[in-house]
Amino acid sequence: MRQTPPRSIEVEGRTVQDAITKALTLLRVPRNAVAVRVLAEENKGLFGMRGAKPAKVRVTLKGEKKG
C-alpha cells in the first residue's frame, strides 16, 4: 500500500525561516503550496547559553480549489 504524504507537519529549526525550509524539503513542495503557522519564535538564551529554544512552525498543504 502506498503511503500518502502528511497534510500537515510541525518542524523545529534554529530560526523560523530555517524551520519553514526544513518543512518544505520534507513535504517536497514550494512555499506557495503551503500555509505556515508560527508556533514558537526562537529564543537564543542569555549569551548563547542555557535557555536557548528553537523556532517551531506548523506547515499545512493548501487544498486544491474546485472549479
Which residues, listed in sequence order, are joined to residue 12 by a DSSP beta bridge? 56
**Chain segment 24-49, per-residue pLDDT in tens:** 999 999 999 999 999 999 987 776 66
Whether the Cβ atoms of residue 12 and residue 52 lie closer than 8 Å to each other? no
C-alpha cell at 46: 542569555
pTM above 0.75, yes or no: yes
Tell me what the mean pLDDT of segment 5-30 comes to.
Answer: 93
Strand intervals (E) in 14-62: 34-40, 55-61
Tell me what the mean pLDDT of segment 6-35 comes to.
Answer: 94
CA distances from 43 to 23, 52, 54, 64 (A): 20, 5, 7, 35
